[in-house]
Amino acid sequence: MDPASSSNTGPAAGTSRNAARAQLSFAERKANMTKASSPHLVEGSQITRPIDRAPPGDPAASSRARRARSKPELGRQRSLYFENAFSTRGGGGGDTAAQDRVRREAKVVAEVRTNVIVNDEFTMITELMYHLCMRYKRPITSVVVTLQHGACMCFGGTFEPAYILSVSALPAELQPATNRRNAVLLQKHMEEALGVVPARGLVRFIPTPEDCVACDGKTVAGELDELARGVLPETAEEAPEENVVSTPKSKKRMSVKLQGSQVSVIKRAHTAFHGRRVFLYDEAGVGQHRASRHGAARSDAREAAEETEELHVELVCEVNAQGAETTTTPTAALEGGMNFCTKSKRTHTHIALTKLPPRLLPGHRQFYAITIVRDSTVGRLRMTFASSRSQGCKPRPHATWRFQSRGVCSDHLWLVAQGLSELESSEPTVVLIVFGHFWESVVCIVTSKCYVNWSNLDECAIRPERLASLNLERLYEQNRQRLQKKDGAIPPELHPGPPGKGKPRLLLMGQRRSGKSSISSVVFHKLPPNETLFLESTARIQKDSMASFMDFQVWDFPGQIDYFETPNFDMDAIFGEIGALIWVIDAQDDYLEAVARLNSTIINLQRNYPNINIEVFIHKVDGLSDDYKLDIQRDITIRIQDELSDQGFENAPVTFHPTSIYNHSIFEAFSKVIQKLIPRLGQLEAMLTSLCRTCRFEKAYLFDVLSKIYIATDSAPADMASYEICSDYIDVIIDVTEVYGSWSRPEGYREKLEEGQHQKLEDQVACNWAESSIVLADGNKPIMMREVDTYLALVAIMKEGSYDKMPLVNMNVDVVVKGLTEFFEITKPRS
């Protein structure tokens, strides 16, 4: 079976519903779903107040408008809150940039003691120093490393190679989550540097209070005091030169191969992005590439970037490949980023490095887009990016991302390489690269922050089916519509959703302020978690109709009412069609009363509605340590189970989930709740398990695209990490559709493209009917995503080496996607 033809057949050809859906772009679908799933407030069967919540996908704009209109006071409070929250970092109010600088420059001290004899102490210390710079986002001047090797050490009862690494820094740098991550990374580094496995190493993180660390005759606390009293210069500009990050005097070289030429990357000390300036020299005479910091901020881009965060990347390229004269012109900025246009005789290429809004990725990840757009095609290229870590002078590739692009030449890859190395930072960084000429685009998301190498640029072309592709045309259309909406300033009317009769219902109950409305808003309306601080207390039952792969309702109950105690309520109306009762307990608060109420609710339900699933969300666990979290979960479980068995309900269907809106745990918990409502879930899982076995997938998830709830997965144990990366990919794809527009392709241009490639345009894209079909790779494990229908996407993490089997994988995925479509056709409730 030809994979190309199979991917062109389309989903569920027989169903008009799906055919209609297939015509819609992500944006249109999103808009439709927004309308359908928008919350409407209902008391009994009456609408009590109009919706005023932002539609998913555009929370910021509309919620801002709403707040500005209706709650000026709240708006003021909020900006005050954020001013306070973000202007003070790690200390009390009144912090300044200079105080921040002092903290940032406080020394991080690493002391290594090992029984191994290190031959090259200089390299070992330098590498560890660089590593610590990255880990703690420090200038190199603020890192101290000592090495005591050949020490007499008995570690764990043996004299085998071992080490102790002690890292001392300010307490703000040594937070539990940071330590957890750094422990892994530092030990990995030590393994590479010393050849000692992590099990034979001990890392000690030693927080040193500001008044217990001194340099230059002043403690950090003392220096901060002086600043507060205005003794020291306030601004970074006034600060002395050492503020500028300096890499060591000796140039650090890293060799990369470019089309057979040996090229060296020389890093020098200057302030650019994260305080670095990069020079690239092509020693083989192919040309000279230089990235430097322009002293003067020539475009608004710089200011915009400075405003948002320290993103001072300016790329100036003097590319001279194949004799083509190239000049560089900084152009207008994308929001919060840099945008450059390189011009050559043959091509006009636009390169943008853009910092995207943080909301695109949950947590504290940075998110950048490197966009390369050009208006002519120079043939097909296959690019292999290999991240490498400098070991001595040799790059050691350990991860590869492969993708194919058209219209990108090696000159531009240099810039991407440069961009990526510029982006190196201690935070996990997601770099999104959009390659391609103006009308078509290839999207690649790279989770890395390493140097870049590539080889075999002209290797055989890959079939278009395997392209990671995103159809920018539809994106453009979406962008256009959004702009139109903005200009028109008449938001579409929100209609109350369809009546809830017959839909499964999720009831959110619990004490006041336990977080019920926050959960519903974050999961189903994409409200950024921070904004839940400003949610008002729920006064009436709030009913949200969700039009998704399965229509269901979420009812948010006011915390203060006990429905079993109050005789006025019609219990059958509330609990009659219920799918699950979700009881939210605030784990950061005294939960005894909540547990007592939950106990009496369960007992009442068990007597009258014994089939109802009771899901207990032990919520707000983000503020708790792992041990404490487990203790609380155990305590609550025991209290409830004891009470139930005392009352004779040994086997009540009660499940416990630790949750927080500040991480993926809430989505994971909701996934498990929703899965219990899906008829014949076992068959779905069997389908995915068989797909995993056939295609050597490590894990496959079937996601509800909008809520990021996974509704099925294969039988391998699900872990949070794989769920997170898959759900992040979905998020990125969806949000990218909002960031980038698309363009309508004129007929003439279309013909030109088809002539150039000797192929119909439809055959040049990965998948005709799915809007986005993408294959990415993290390490050697590609990750693929395929839309199933309007609401669902299949995301799978593949095993190492399975990229070479893509035609087979595509074929199998096509079959499963069709199977899934049919499954939902068959199992959906008939009216």
Ligand X SMILES: Nc1nc2c(ncn2[C@@H]2O[C@H](COP(=O)(O)OP(=O)(O)OP(=O)(O)O)[C@@H](O)[C@H]2O)c(=O)[nH]1
Q: Which is nearer to ligand X, 3 or 559 (CB)?
A: 559
Site string for ligand X, 336-375 (x = CB under 6 A): ----------------------------------------
Q: Which is nearer to ligand X, 513 or 672 (CB)?
A: 513
Site string for ligand X, 462-501 (x = CB under 6 A): ----------------------------------------
Half-sphere exposure of 333 (CA within 13 A, CB side): 24
Q: Which is nearer to ligand X, 27 or 621 (CB)?
A: 621
| Whole-number Å distance between alpha carbons of 5 and 802 | 21
Q: Which is nearer to ligand X, 56 or 515 (CB)?
A: 515
Nearest approach, Cβ of residue 583 and ligand X (Å)? 11
Burial of 278 (0-12, 13-18, 19+ CB in 10 A): buried
Q: Which is nearer to ligand X, 660 or 764 (CB)?
A: 660
821 scored as a contact of ligand X (CB under 6 A): no
* Region binding ligand X by CB under 6 A among candidate stretches 208-216, 229-237, 405-413, 513-521: 513-521
589 scored as a contact of ligand X (CB under 6 A): no
Give the number of residues in contact with ligand X, rule: CB under 6 A: 22
Tell me phi and psi for residue 776, to 5 degrees: -120, 170
Nearest approach, Cβ of residue 508 and ligand X (Å)? 8
Q: Which residues of 633-651 are buried (b: 16+ CB within 10 A; e: fewer)?
A: beebbebbbebbeeeebee
Determine the straight-line distance between the first and last CA of the chain, rounded to whole angstroms. 38
Nearest approach, Cβ of residue 620 and ligand X (Å)? 4
Q: Which residues of 765-780 are buried (b: 16+ CB within 10 A; e: fewer)?
A: bbbebbbbbbbbbbee
Q: Which is nearer to ligand X, 404 or 633 (CB)?
A: 633
Asked whether 387 and 399 are in contact (CB, 8 A), the reply is yes
* Region binding ligand X by CB under 6 A among candidate stretches 72-80, 360-368, 408-416, 511-519: 511-519
661 scored as a contact of ligand X (CB under 6 A): yes
407 scored as a contact of ligand X (CB under 6 A): no
* Region binding ligand X by CB under 6 A among candidate stretches 74-82, 273-281, 571-579, 616-624: 616-624
| Whole-number Å distance between alpha carbons of 612 and 602 | 9
660 scored as a contact of ligand X (CB under 6 A): yes
Alpha helices in 234-367 (DSSP H): 300-308
| Whole-number Å distance between alpha carbons of 189 and 287 | 34
Give the sign of the dihedral formed by CA 556, CA 559, CA 563, CA 567: negative
Sheet holding 380-391, edge to edge: 394-406, 380-391, 451-453
Nearest approach, Cβ of residue 173 and ligand X (Å)? 22
786 scored as a contact of ligand X (CB under 6 A): no
Q: Which is nearer to ligand X, 585 or 784 (CB)?
A: 585
Asked whether 511 and 586 are in contact (CB, 8 A), the reply is yes
C-alpha separations of 406 from 319, 380, 454 in Å: 19, 5, 16
Q: Which is nearer to ligand X, 100 or 589 (CB)?
A: 589
Rg (CA), the chain: 28
53 scored as a contact of ligand X (CB under 6 A): no
Asked whether 618 and 594 are in contact (CB, 8 A), the reply is no
Nearest approach, Cβ of residue 569 and ligand X (Å)? 16
Q: Which is nearer to ligand X, 471 or 518 (CB)?
A: 518
Interface with ligand X in residues 523-552 (CB under 6 A)? 532-533, 535, 537-538
Report DSSP state, residue 332. P
564 scored as a contact of ligand X (CB under 6 A): no
Cβ neighbours of residue 584 closer than 8 Å, sequence gap 6 or more: 508, 509, 510, 511, 514, 515, 516, 519, 617, 619
Among the listed residues 290, 513, 540, 672, the single contact to ligand X using CB under 6 A? 513
Q: Which is nearer to ligand X, 37 or 511 (CB)?
A: 511
Burial of 495 (0-12, 13-18, 19+ CB in 10 A): exposed
Contacts with ligand X by CB under 6 A lie at 510, 512-518, 532-533, 535, 537-538, 558-559, 619-620, 622-623, 660-662
